[in-house]
Structure 1
Amino acid sequence: MVMTPPPRDPARRKQDVLDRLGRETDIWVATADADGLPCLVPLWFVWHEESVWLWTRLTNPTGRNLRDGGRARLAFGDTLDVVLIDGRAEVFGAAEAPAAAVRAFLGKTGWDPREEGPPYACFRVRPHSVRAWHGESELKGRHLMRDGVWTV
């Protein structure tokens, strides 16, 4: 017999999301172009100053979609520990990327995209909503952030 653990309280869920944002290396980035063609890729990221920071080239679909559409849905790959983040994206050229965000990204990943060619761009995704749940028992209360404000 499989036992379902009791639902986590909202504060525990928020802390689990923050822990995961600090621990994980890859995050799934979903975007769409102006015609609605979806694109889904995993990218390295860092959680820094209440935003997800990631790097990709403006010449690929994800970079163009983030630049042109300004929106993204981010997720982790484990279906038993769901975290969905919807946010607005802001683009920085490699030379304009905030130094503190660059240091945080380099510190976490060990990679400096500014040294690669062709040039990469830096993207800050500011969360607008965050949802997290473990199975059906946690669907109620899964909204941890709405309109850019933590609900817990």
Structure 2
Amino acid sequence: MIRDSARRIRDVRERLARETDLWVASAGDGGVPYLVPLSFFWDGRDVWLVTRLSNPTGRNLVARPRTRLALGDTRDVVLLDGEVTAYPHDEVPAEAAEGFRAKTGWDARGAGPAYRWFRVRPTDVQAWHEEPEIAGRQLMTDGEWAVGCGPDRPGGTGA
């Protein structure tokens, strides 16, 4: 059965709340791509990541603050494009740090100054189950959920 946009948005938000790891894509110097798995926390609006500034992903996210995040396999895909803001431990919102700790079991605030927090604010979201849903895959554009399907609209889900 092909899901409508409202159902897909609910499914995406539920997966973001439930799953612990996702794939993070970034671009290095000269456009060299990097793809790594990282644990994350979804606060209902933003995705929070933690990684070292000395690794390629950390450096790339600071230098080029755009990323693509991916969940799922080829039969149940979620792609999230977003704008990235980096935070040192003492500036990350307490709710995000505590949510990350509760979800992943790791209190990254104690990891030391080599690590940074990265907030990914979604700008575009796509989701589909196999080929029949590809046509309606665009669920968010320019930071706005599909008309009538956002978290505060009929058919949407709350944070």
Partner residue of 2:114 out of 116, 119, 129: 119
Q: Which 5+ residue runs of structure 2 have no aligned equivalent?
A: 150-159
Aligned to 2:36: 41
Check the 8 A contact 1:45/1:53 in 2, yes or no.
Answer: yes
What does 1:24-103 align with in structure 2 at a 5 Å threshold? Answer: 24-103=19-98
Cα displacement string for residues 3-39 of structure 1 (whole angstroms, at most 9, x for unaligned residues):
xxx2101111000000100111101000001310000
> 1:107: Cα distance to partner?
1.0
TM-score (norm 2): 0.89
Distance in 1 of aligned mates of 2:112 and 2:89 = 11
% identical equivalent positions: 56
Check the 8 A contact 1:94/1:119 in 2, yes or no.
Answer: no
Distance in 1 of aligned mates of 2:139 and 2:111 = 37
Aligned to 1:142: 137
Greater shift in the superposed pair: 125-134 or 47-56: 47-56
Check the 8 A contact 2:97/2:108 in 1, yes or no.
Answer: no
Check the 8 A contact 2:54/2:114 in 1, yes or no.
Answer: no
- The change in CA–CA distance for 1:131 and 1:16 in structure 2 (over 3 A counts) is same
Distance in 2 of aligned mates of 1:89 and 1:148 = 13
- The change in CA–CA distance for 1:77 and 1:49 in structure 2 (over 3 A counts) is closer
The list of structure 1 runs, each at least 4 consecutive aligned residues, that deviate by more than 6 angstroms after superposition, is none
Partner residue of 2:104 out of 90, 109, 112: 109
Aligned-residue Cα RMSD (Å) equals 1.0
TM-score (norm 1): 0.93
